[in-house]
Amino acid sequence: MTIDNTAKKNMQAWLDGAYDEQTKQAIRELAEHNPEELNESFYRHLEFGTGGLRGIMGVGTNRMNKYTVGMATQGLANYVKRCFQGVSELKAAVSFDSRNNSRDFAAITANVLAANGFTVYLFNDMRPTPELSFAIRHLHCNTGVMITASHNPKEYNGYKAYWDDGCQLTAPHDVNVIDEVLKIKQITDVQWSGGTGKIVSIGEDVDEAFIKHVEANVLHPECIKAHHDVKIVYTPLHGTGITMIPKTLQRLGFTNVNIVEPQAVPDGNFPTTPSPNPEEHAAMSMAVELARKIDADIVFASDPDADRVGVAVKKPDGSWMLLNGNQTLSVLLYYLLKSHSDKGTLKGNDYIIKTIVTSELPAAIAKRYGAKVYDVLTGFKWIGSKIRSLEGKEHFIGGGEESYGYMIGDFVRDKDAIGSCCMIAEIAAWAASQGKTFFDVLTDIYKEFGFYKEGLLSVVRKGRSGAEEIQQMMADYRKNPPAEICGSAVVRIRDIKSLEDKDMVTGATTPIDLPESNVLQFFTADGCKVTVRPSGTEPKIKFYFSVKGELSCAQKFDEVESSLNAKIEALKKSLNLL
């Protein structure tokens, strides 16, 4: 195989540079035995995107390793120092998950920040992403870093950068940090050491502060007390959730938490599951198997950095059903809004936040309780950013997105599996107090607001030609939008690129108050929504489908669900996607 010229240049720079001998030897071995991997490792520089770094671990400019982590940290440090000139003490918080090399990458991050004059609060052991987000505000930090690749396969690791509000970087900081990182051309530009005494170990003190906030979110302590033995099955999928979720549930009063022991051991190889992603059935299989064995009431799983939650519920016939992210979010928001309403604690300026690709069911629920709904772009950083803009003006209830991320209250500014798992357990206890199950709560919602069902189709087009094809697809949809989809007229089109919301019946347009993004949404007369969004990180274009039906009684759940699934397939065929 011919090595790319850029790869050759980058490789030689590493061989000639001040890199350690172990790294150089690894490069030589790749050159001799695996030139294809060598090419992949050096043909470009691993990009620091708006969320940080994420990539396969290994040697090379296009890999996650101690050098790419150090250079990214130097760029981040340079930018933060520029933004907070005159601040007497710059502070940063650093955490890491259970992945291979995460602890080492966190130590490197802490050392570089300390060498740049920061007081660095480094967790003494792995901790979840939401706790890192919380720690930034709790400890009054200017920035923070979480070493994680979330739910990606074991070969990956990543680097999430945060601002002083505990939220991932948003404009203008996201692009400005990227610019600073790009200025770091070589490892000699990095201050690797020299921050002796600037690193502070943190752990149980921050855990305790976090748990107290979760306790403050409890809405029906009497239900937990009466049904403390609701039977819960939980799996951390070999990740950080094991450090916080079981003990927080215990603090709230739950006494029957059954942990999937083979998956309770932190392990970056994730040996018991093909993917540590609770969105996938295989990742949930061991937990559901245990639930069947002990006749549990509720199942939940967190991903390796404990920001996402997968949920399984028992149906009346004893079978187990995996909820999608839209369903879990809808139940959470329904419970929050209904409970606040029943207690008289809604403030009149309440709001929820969801992403534009999320179901419209949360919006219908919010309308019922007089709460505002804010739609934001895909990605939890936009939820955090909206909360910051409304701080002190309006009252945040909760929010989330279809990809299994939820936020209860605003003390965390990122997806939070800890608080979400605790609230899911509370809902199970609340349902039990009425002789119901979590599944019954979901069917009650569908009976009142309509049965919403969602689907997702990713169309992959690889290479440069694939990227061009995806862009052409978006251009064609804008030039010749569908007049109808599956026999129902398109009555509204939202174009997040032109920031125009058009009523196709009257021709009236209204501006969209969002950052520009290459997304199109089609709404049909019969209540369907189709969202088209090219991925920003992968060679694919995603189609999100949402359909709606009526559920007259719980006994017809399977029948209605089946008809809605068929409707989603029909939508795909109507758009020539099958």
| Domain residue ranges of the chain, discontinuous segments joined by + | 45-202, 208-215+230-322, 326-449, 451-574
Which two three-digit tokens encode residue 458? 């990713």
Peptide bond just before 274 cis, omega within 30 deg: no
Predicted structure pTM score: 0.95
Residue with the two structure tokens 């790749």? 30
CATH of 45-202, one of 3.40.50.280, 3.40.120.10, 3.40.1280.10, 3.40.50.12780: 3.40.120.10
CATH superfamily of 208-215+230-322: Alpha-D-Glucose-1,6-Bisphosphate, subunit A, domain 3 (3.40.120.10)
Q: What is the pLDDT of residues 265-287, one digit of tens each?
A: 999 999 999 999 999 999 999 99
In 409-491, which residue ranges form alpha helices assigned H by DSSP? 417-432, 438-449, 463-479
Architecture, CATH, for domain 451-574: 2-Layer Sandwich (3.30)
Could you say which of 95, 98, 150, 546 is catalytic? 150
Topology of domain 326-449, CATH: Alpha-D-Glucose-1,6-Bisphosphate; Chain A, domain 3 (3.40.120)
Report d(CA 428, CA 439) in Å as an integer.
9
Q: What is the pLDDT of residues 552-563, one digit of tens each?
A: 999 999 999 999
209 bridge partner residues = none
Sign of CA pseudo-dihedral 482, 484, 487, 491: positive
pLDDT value, residue 1: 64
The answer to whether the 45-202 and 451-574 domains have the same CATH topology is no
Report d(CA 410, CA 433) in Å as an integer.
28
Residue 50, pLDDT > 80, answer: no
Q: What is the pLDDT of residues 413-455, one digit of tens each?
A: 999 999 999 999 999 999 999 999 999 999 999 999 999 999 9
Report d(CA 457, CA 149) in Å as an integer.
23
* Burial bucket for residue 44 (CB in 10 Å: 0-12, 13-18, 19+): middle
Is there a contact between 210 and 131 (Cβ–Cβ < 8 Å)?
Answer: yes
Which two three-digit tokens encode residue 272? 């018991």
Is there a contact between 176 and 101 (Cβ–Cβ < 8 Å)?
Answer: no
300 bridge partner residues = 234, 311
Report d(CA 326, CA 140) in Å as an integer.
33
Phi, psi of 483 (to 5 degrees): -80, -30
pLDDT value, residue 341: 98
Q: Would you call 341 a catalytic residue per the annotation? A: no
Nearest-5° Cα angle at 467, 461 to 473: 85
Residue 17, pLDDT > 80, answer: yes
pLDDT value, residue 536: 67
Residue with the two structure tokens 């130590």? 107
* Residues comprising the chain, all counted: 578
